Every structure is written in structure tokens, then in C-alpha cells.
């Protein structure tokens, strides 16, 4: 049984790429939005992610194998958040929707994005000309999930074509339809086709949500005027909310600098990454970049810098200290190091390292540094034994270096990630410098600190000492060889000098 949501008389935050992330969604709800839509997330991406309950933040995160969070939600938006899905395939759409349906209030299918990456992938506005595909995707979703399904379209070149598509969409059983009043070729500078939206709303029995009117919206009262002009009771707001989410506030707009400061505070609270935070700040301030805060935000790259610009240094430091303590407690429990030695003397060491490319310099990897060091030590073969888990095509690697086995407990999304994780365990145990730059307060750093306390225990110390002995021996042999070469070269030089000095005495 599909849960019911009343789509009448609603003001809604639109799905906007890189903008409709958790901080802006929560600000929009605070100022009066009834529903919020997340940025479009492609089916492949959400299916490749892992759902993680983040006890530290109190969020549910969908995390990629490289550690990047592609979707984050929290209890404050429970029952009000719609997940916008980018898809071109009914089967993938259903799989993605089923994966997230317990964490969102509904699923929205993007059928209006005019961006090239969407259209090339057969998604977004590419679907406007494929009614059978539209019908297949939406019908499959409506049947499969227990939460409302909606979709968002743009106008087709003629009103008749648009109404025809809208009626096809209505018959799939969706709960509501959002219509952006421009065609896929038109941009914000073009007039919104409010008359199209009105005619579509009159032609359907399901709620129609009007979108595309941000040029006309200066405050909350304008939202109601736009609803009246389009014959809809509900309005979805994009750019006007991107510039200032207090557009939803019935009491009036809050000054921009106050809004940006609140946004930065929200970004700190929910551990929003600095890149996304900067993008949203610059979008908000696009007309006011000449003021001090705007100019400084252009060059800022870290959350600490943003906190300084917006007068939140103390708030940021307090939050950071609190998070560091909580993470230390969490990672202390989670970073278990397992060492098992069999009767025949072979040792297996398992450590929960995860390879994140961003924690290493360009073109440097643990595998590379391990190979170079073991080659110097005279170990000419590294055995990477990768196992695939058939049900989800994830991989685990067992690495054999000179008879000692290194591994992690993780099943990674690729063979390469699994191998790099195992190599990180080996470089750690063997004390090989791999130029790692672990994130401060992160799990890898916590694990490294734990290993430093463990590495002198007798069951692992001998492994490192044996490897060090091989390296020392190899270095010594290299020095002896160099000394012999130097002596040989010196002897050759002496002979040449002798011959040269005695050439006159040679009788021909």
C-alpha cells in the first residue's frame, strides 16, 4: 500500500545539482518549505553506493567506495524529502528506488534536465520524446515501491504534445507531476510558459506542481501569485531558493549575509564538504561578489577558512573538537587488528584500512611503494589473490609477501581497491613509506595510531625485523658492490696513468 502525501497547497524546494544537498534542504524546511527534493542522483551511482548509518552525525549516508558521500539525509527531513532519480531504464530505476525507499518520502524521476550528460545517457529531457520508455519506467516504479512516485518534465514545443505526454504520465499511477514551463532548448532568460502549465493542470486529475517562475519570485507572496497564474495550488522553487532559501518565509526575506552565515553554520553541523559548500555560497552571492565576504569566499578552500570569513571560527572549532572525540571513540571500537599465526608458522594480519585516492599524492599508491621496497629487499614476487563475491560483485584481496599474508575485512567495489587496501596493510606492518596523507581524525589515521601501539608485540615485531634485515642486507651488498666497482675503477685509472707516463720508454 502506497503511503499518501497531499500535494495540494505545497511550496517545494526543487532538485538542483550540487545545491539541493542536506544543508540547503534543512534551511528551506526551517523557513517554510513543505517538501524538499534532493539533487538528481543517477541510478548507477546510488546502486554502487553502500548505505551507512552515521551514528556520529545522526544521518543515513550513501557512500561510494572512495569514501565520497553521494546522498545524506537525517531525521529532520523525514517524511518531507523526495529522492530525485536520474534513469533511463525501468529495472535499474526500481532497484535504486527500493534501495532508498526506507529513507525518503517519495521518488521523483527526472524527465526534464536539459544538460548534455543527462541527454547523452538517455535520461532527463531525452525521455520527453520516448513515451513508451516513460510509461515503462513510471509504471514499474509505482508497482514496486511503497512510497509516492512523481516525475518532473519540461514543456514540449507545442501545448498539445505536452498535454499528451502528461496524460500518459498520469495513467502510470504517479501521485503528482511537476511541469517546468520551458522547453529543453530554453534557458532562464526565456519567458516561462505559465499558460502551458495552466492548461496541463486543467487537463489532469492528479496534482500539477508549477515550476520555472524564479524570475518572478522576490518573496513568499510571489510564490502564491505564480501558483495563481499557472492554475496550480503547489509551486516548486529552484533558483530563487538557491539564491536565498528564506524565499519560503511568510514573514519576509532575510538579508543575504545572514542567510549565507546560517548556511555555513548548517554545513558545519552536517559535515558538508568544502567544495560543495563553496559552490553553494558562490551561487547565493553571485550578485554580491564585490563585497568583502564574497571576495574572500572565492579563494577559500577549507571549512575552517569559510568559518573564519563568516565569523564562525569558535563555532567551527567547538564542533571539530566534539566530532574528533566522538570519532576517536567510534574508530577505537571499529579498528580491530587481527593477527593469526598457524601451526606451521605462517601469519595473517587483517587491518581495516580503506584506500582513498585523495589520501595519496598523484601517481603514488601503496602497491607501487610496496613493489619498489620488496624488490630492493630481494622479494621478487607479490601474490595478490582476489576473491569475487558473486551476489554483489564486490572483491576482497589476500596479499602474500614472503610468506606473511595481509588483508582487510572489506569487500570493495573493484579489484584495484581491494588490492590497494591489502597493500596498505603490508606497507604499514613493514614500515614502508608510501607517502600517505590520512585525513585528520579519519578511520585510517585512527588505525595507524592503534598499530603504533601494537607493532612491538612479539607476534608481529619479528615480521618487520625480518624485512628490515633483508633491506639492510640488500643495502650492504649494494654498498660492497659499489666499493668494489670504485676500487676497480681506481685500479684502471692507475694503470692508464702508468702506461701514459712510460710511453716514451716503449721500444718499437
Please answer whether residues 216 and 188 qualify as being in contact, where contact means their C-beta atoms are separated by less than 8 angstroms.
no
The cell numbers describing 198, all together, are 495552466
Q: In angstroms, rounded to a whole number, what is the distance separating the alpha carbons of residues 232 and 490?
A: 95
Active site residue 280: no
How many angstroms separate the CA atoms of 450 and 305, rounded? 30
Catalytic, out of 113, 155, 280, 394: 113
**If you compute the radius of gyration of the chain from its CA atoms, what whole number of angstroms results?**
31
- Tell me the CA distances in angstroms from 175 to 145, 152, 207, 256, one per residue in order: 12, 12, 7, 35
- C-alpha cell of residue 28: 528551506
Handedness of CA 237, 240, 243, 249 (dihedral sign): negative
Extract the C-alpha cell encoding 162: 505536452
DSSP H/E element including 492: helix 458-501
Is the C-alpha dihedral spanning 443, 445, 448, 450 positive or negative? negative
**Dihedral, CA atoms, 469, 473, 476, 481, nearest 10 degrees?**
-170
Query: Any alpha helices (H) in 337-457, and if so which ranges?
Result: 366-376, 415-429, 443-454
Among 223, 230, 233, 258, which Cα is nearest to 244's? 258
- Which helix (H) or strand (E) covers residue 332, if one does? helix 313-334
Active-site residues, by number, are 113
Amino acid at each position: 500500500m502506497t503511503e499518501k502525501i497531499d500535494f495540494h497547497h505545497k511550496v517545494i524546494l526543487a532538485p538542483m545539482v550540487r545545491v539541493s544537498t542536506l544543508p540547503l534542504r534543512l534551511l528551506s524546511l526551517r523557513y517554510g518549505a513543505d517538501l524538499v527534493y534532493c539533487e538528481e542522483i543517477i541510478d548507477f551511482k546510488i546502486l554502487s553506493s553502500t548505505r551507512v548509518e552515521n551514528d556520529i552525525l545522526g544521518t543515513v549516508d550513501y557512500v561510494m567506495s572512495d569514501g565520497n558521500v553521494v546522498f545524506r539525509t537525517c531525521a529532520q527531513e523525514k517524511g518531507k524529502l523526495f529522492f530525485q532519480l536520474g534513469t533511463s531504464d525501468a529495472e535499474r530505476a526500481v532497484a535504486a528506488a527500493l534501495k532508498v525507499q526506507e529513507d525518503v518520502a517519495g521518488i521523483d524521476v527526472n524527465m526534464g534536465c536539459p544538460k548534455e550528460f543527462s541527454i547523452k545517457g538517455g535520461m532527463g529531457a531525452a525521455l520527453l520524446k520516448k513515451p513508451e520508455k516513460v510509461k515503462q519506467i513510471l509504471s514499474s516504479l509505482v508497482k514496486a515501491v511503497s512510497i509516492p512516485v512523481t516525475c518532473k518534465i519540461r514543456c514540449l514545443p507545442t501545448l498539445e504534445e505536452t498535454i499528451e505526454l502528461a496524460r500518459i504520465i498520469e495513467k502510470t499511477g504517479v501521485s503528482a507531476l511537476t511541469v517546468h514551463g520551458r522547453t529543453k532548448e530554453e534557458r532562464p532568460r526565456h519567458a516561462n510558459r505559465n499558460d502551458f502549465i495552466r492548461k496541463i493542470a486543467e487537463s489532469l486529475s492528479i496534482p500539477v506542481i508549477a515550476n520555472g517562475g524564479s524570475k518572478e519570485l522576490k518573496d513568499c507572496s510571489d510564490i502564491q501569485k505564480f501558483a495563481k497564474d499557472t492554475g496550480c495550488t503547489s509551486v516548486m522553487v529552484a533558483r530563487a531558493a538557491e539564491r536565498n532559501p528564506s524565499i519560503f518565509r511568510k514573514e519576509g526575506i532575510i538579508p543575504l549575509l545572514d542567510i549565507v552565515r546560517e548556511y555555513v553554520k548548517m554545513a558545519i553541523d552536517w559535515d558538508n564538504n568544502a567544495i560543495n559548500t563553496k559552490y553553494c555560497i558562490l551561487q547565493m552571492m553571485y550578485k554580491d561578489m564585490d563585497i568583502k565576504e564574497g571576495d574572500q569566499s572565492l579563494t577559500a578552500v577549507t571549512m575552517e577558512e569559510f568559518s573564519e570569513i563568516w565569523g564562525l571560527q569558535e563555532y567551527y572549532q567547538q564542533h571539530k573538537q566534539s566530532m574528533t572525540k566522538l570519532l576517536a571513540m567510534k574508530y577505537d571500537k571499529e579498528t580491530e587488528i587481527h593477527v593469526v599465526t598457524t601451526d606451521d608458522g605462517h601469519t595473517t594480519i587483517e587491518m581495516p584500512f580503506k584506500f582513498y585516492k585523495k589520501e595519496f599524492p598523484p601517481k603514488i599508491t601503496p602497491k607501487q611503494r610496496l613493489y619498489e621496497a620488496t624488490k630492493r629487499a630481494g622479494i621478487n614476487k607479490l601474490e595478490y589473490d582476489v576473491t569475487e563475491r558473486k551476489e554483489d560483485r564486490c572483491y576482497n584481496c589476500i596479499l602474500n609477501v614472503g610468506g606473511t599474508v595481509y588483508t582487510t575485512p572489506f569487500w570493495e567495489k573493484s579489484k584495484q581497491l581491494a588490492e590497494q587496501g591489502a597493500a596498505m596493510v603490508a606497507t604499514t606492518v613493514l614500515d614502508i613509506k608510501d607517502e600517505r596523507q590520512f585525513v585528520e581524525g579519519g578511520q585510517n589515521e585512527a588505525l595507524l595510531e592503534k598499530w603504533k601501539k601494537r607493532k612491538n608485540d612479539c607476534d608481529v615485531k619479528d615480521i618487520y625485523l625480518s624485512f628490515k634485515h633483508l633491506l639492510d642486507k640488500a643495502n650492504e651488498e649494494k654498498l660492497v658492490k659499489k666499493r668494489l666497482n670504485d676500487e676497480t675503477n681506481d685500479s684502471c685509472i692507475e694503470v692508464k696513468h702508468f702506461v701514459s707516463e712510460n710511453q716514451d720508454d716503449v721500444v718499437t
